[in-house]
Amino acid sequence: MPLSLPLTLLPACIFFANATLYVTLYSRLPEVSSAQGGSPSALGLALLSQTAGTLLGFPTASPLIDRFGARRVAGATLLAAMILLPAAATGIIGPGLWGIAIPLGLYGFAMAVMEVAKNLIAARIEERSGKNVISKSHGFWSAGLFVGALMGGWAAGAGISTGEELLWIGCAFLPLVGLLLVRAGDPEPMGPASDSEPRFAKPDAFVIGLLILIAGFSITEGVVYDWSMFYLRQDLALDANTAAKIYAAFTIGMFVARMLGDDLRNRLPTPRLIRFMAVCVVLGVAITVFGPHFATGLLYVGFSLIGSGVALAAPVATALAMRHPTRSATRTMASYSLISLLALFAVPPLMGTIVETHGAVWAIVFASPLLGFVAIFAPRIVARMRNLPSEPHS
C-alpha cells in the first residue's frame, strides 16, 4: 500500500537531492577543470556532452515512465547521478576533456529522464489534490543549490576533493533512492494516452510559446550555474568562501520566491507575473555587473534578485504545459522539458570561448535583451497560446 506522505514531501526530496549533487560539481568547476588541465573553452565543449545526453534522453523518458512509473524512474536516474558526477569530478574514466565529457554525457541522459519524472510527480499531485505544490517542490531545488553551494565552499576550504564530497553526499541520499525504487505504483495519469500518439511529441506552437517565455530565464540560470564562479573567482578575484556565499544568495532568492510562488500564481495573472520576473532578473544582472565598482556587497543583492527572478519560470511553465489541450501529461512534459533544458544546458556551454577571451561577465548579460523582450510582450504571447485551436490526434 502506498505510504501516506505530505503532498510536497516526495517531489521536494527528489528536487533537493538532484540539486545538491548538481551544484556540488558545478560550483567547483574551476577546481575540477584546473585539476584536469582544461581551459574554459575546453570545459565548454565538455559541458556540451551533457546537452547531447539530454537530447538522447528525452525521447526515452515517456516510454520509460509509462512502463516503470515516474517514481521508480526518478530513483534509478538519481542513483545514476550519484555515480556519474563523482566520475566527472575525478576524471577516473580518462584524462583531460574526455574524463569530464563522457560521464557528463551519461548524466545528461539521466537528468533528462529525471526532469520529466520529477515534474510529472509534482504535477500529478497538484492535479489530484487541487492544491498548488509545483512551486514549493521547485523551491527545494533552490534549497539544494543553497546547501550544496555552502558545502562546496566549506569542502574546498577544508581541502576535500570534489569527487570525495560527491561520494559522501550520494551516500546520504541512498535511502531516498531505495524508497523511490521499491515504492508502489504511481497515481493514474491525468489523461489517457492515445494509441496513435507518437512516443515523443515534437514541440508545437503552444510549446514554442512556452520556450519564448522561459528561454531567457533558463539561459540566465544556466549561466549562473556554469560561469558565475569564473566571474566571481577569476574576473573579480574573490576567495572561494566569499564566492560560495554570494552564490548562496542566488539560491536563497530562488528558494524564497518559490516558497511564495504558489500564492503569487493564485493572485497575479500569468503575463503580469512573468513581466515582474523579467524585470527582477534584468535589474539583478545590472547590479551584478556594475555593483562591484561601488561595493562588493552589492553582489549579494544582484545574485539574490537574479535568483528570485528566474525562480518561478519553471513552475509557471510546468503548470501551463500540463494543460495542453490535446496531449497526454507525460508527452507534453517531455516535449516542454526538452526545449527548456536545452536553453538551460545547451546555450551556456557555448559561451566558453567568450568567457576565455572576454570574461564571464559577457555570459551573465547574454540573455538580458531576450528578457527585455519578454517583459514587454509577455501578455501577447500568453494570449496567443490561449487562443491556439485544438489539434486532433492523427
- CB neighbour class for 357 (10 Å; exposed up to 12, middle 13-18, buried from 19): exposed
Whole-angstrom distance, CA of residue 236 vs CA of residue 263: 37
Predicted model pTM:
0.69
| Cell numbers at 293, concatenated | 565598482
Cβ pair 241, 373 in contact under 8 A: no
Whole-angstrom distance, CA of residue 50 vs CA of residue 112: 10
- pLDDT tens for the chain, 394 residues long, are 344 456 678 888 999 999 999 888 887 877 777 777 666 667 777 778 888 888 888 788 888 888 888 889 999 999 999 999 999 888 888 777 788 889 999 999 999 899 888 888 887 777 777 776 777 787 888 888 888 888 888 888 888 888 899 999 999 999 999 988 886 445 544 444 444 555 555 666 777 787 888 888 988 988 888 888 889 988 898 888 888 889 889 988 988 898 888 788 788 888 899 999 999 999 999 999 999 999 989 999 999 999 999 988 877 877 777 666 666 656 666 666 666 666 666 666 677 777 777 888 888 888 899 999 999 998 888 888 776 655 444 3
Q: What is the pLDDT of residue 235?
A: 86
9-187+197-386 is a CATH 3.40.50.620 domain: no
How crowded is residue 358: how many other Cβ atoms within 10 Å of its Cβ? 11
Amino acid identity of 222? G
| Cell numbers at 378, concatenated | 509577455
Q: What is the pLDDT of residue 391?
A: 47
Whole-angstrom distance, CA of residue 375 vs CA of residue 353: 29
CA angle 369, 336, 331 (to 5 degrees): 170
